[in-house]
C-alpha cells in the first residue's frame, strides 16, 4: 500500500497565521498513517481516503492552535476527519450502494480501537522481514509487488510454480512465527 504523504498544508503568510510549534508538527507527522488507516476504514478506496486525509490535514493544520497539548492528539484528529468523511459521504450520496451512518461509525470505532494492535503487528512484520535471508526477502517482495501473481513470478524466475508456492508458504510460516514471538515478547 502506498502511504499518503505527510506534507503539511500551506499556511497563510500573514502575521496572524503563526506556524504550529514543533510538538504539534511531531504529533501531526507521527499520526498520519493511523489517521489515514482510520479514514480508509470508512471509505471505498485508498484514493478517496487520501483525498479526505488532505482535506482533514488542511483543517487540522489551520486549527493547530486549538489543540490542547497533553490531550489525545489522534482522537482530536479523528473528530476532524469524521467531519471530512461526512462531507465526502454527502457528496457521494447519489451512488447506488451506500452504507448507513451507524454501520460506518461502528467500523470506524473498531478500526480506531484496533489501530494500536495493528501498528504493533505491522512493526513486528517489518522487523521479521528484515531478518529473512536476502533471497527469501526478495521473493516475498517480488510476490507482493502490485499486480504480481505467483504464477507470473514463477515464470519470471524460471522455476516451477509449485516450487515457488512451497517457498512462499515456508517464508510466510516463518514470518508468522516470528511476528507471534515478537508480539509475545512485548507483552
Percent of the chain with pLDDT over 90: 53
- Residue 39: predicted pLDDT: 93
SS3 72: coil
Higher-confidence residue: 1 or 141?
141
Does residue 15 have a pLDDT over 50? no
Phi, psi of 121 (to 5 degrees): -65, -45
- Residue 112: predicted pLDDT: 83
Does residue 13 have a pLDDT over 90? no
Distance between CA atoms of 168 and 148, rounded to whole angstroms? 13
- What's the mean pLDDT when you consider all of the chain? 85
- Burial of 187 by CB count in 10 Å (0-12 exposed, 13-18 middle, 19+ buried)? exposed
Distance between CA atoms of 25 and 3, rounded to whole angstroms? 18
What contacts 122, CB < 8 A, 6 or more positions away? none
Q: Tell me the CATH number of domain 1-98, given options 3.30.200.20, 1.10.1740.10, 3.40.50.300, 3.10.20.30.
A: 1.10.1740.10
Using alpha carbons, select from 84, 61, 62, 76 the residue that is nearest to residue 112.
76
Confidence of residue 9 (pLDDT cuts 50, 70, 90): very low
Structurally, what CATH architecture does the domain formed by 114-187 represent? Orthogonal Bundle (1.10)
Confidence of residue 17 (pLDDT cuts 50, 70, 90): low
Domain map (residue ranges) of the chain: 1-98, 114-187
pLDDT in tens, 92-149: 776 666 677 788 888 888 888 888 888 889 899 999 999 999 999 999 999 988 888 8
Amino acid at each position: 500500500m502506498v502511504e499518503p504523504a505527510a506534507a503539511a498544508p500551506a499556511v497563510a503568510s500573514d502575521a496572524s497565521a503563526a506556524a504550529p510549534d514543533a510538538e504539534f508538527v511531531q504529533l501531526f507527522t507521527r499520526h498520519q498513517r493511523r489517521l489515514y488507516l482510520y479514514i480508509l476504514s470508512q471509505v471505498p478506496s485508498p484514493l478517496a481516503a487520501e483525498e479526505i486525509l488532505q482535506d482533514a490535514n488542511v483543517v487540522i493544520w489551520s486549527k493547530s492552535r486549538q489543540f490542547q497539548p497533553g490531550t489525545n492528539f489522534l482522537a482530536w484528529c479523528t473528530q476532524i476527519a469524521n467531519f471530512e468523511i461526512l462531507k465526502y459521504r454527502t457528496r457521494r450520496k447519489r451512488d447506488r450502494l451506500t452504507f448507513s451512518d451507524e454501520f460506518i461509525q461502528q467500523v470506524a470505532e473498531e478500526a480506531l480501537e484496533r489501530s494500536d494492535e495493528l501498528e504493533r503487528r505491522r512493526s513486528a512484520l517489518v522487523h521479521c522481514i528484515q531478518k529473512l535471508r536476502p533471497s527469501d526477502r526478495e521473493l516475498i517482495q517480488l510476490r507482493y509487488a502490485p499486480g504480481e501473481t505467483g504464477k507470473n513470478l514463477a515464470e519470471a524466475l524460471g522455476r516451477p510454480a509449485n516450487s515457488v508456492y512451497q517457498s512462499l508458504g515456508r517464508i510466510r510460516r516463518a514470518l508468522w512465527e516470528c511476528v507471534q514471538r515478537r508480539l509475545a515478547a512485548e507483552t
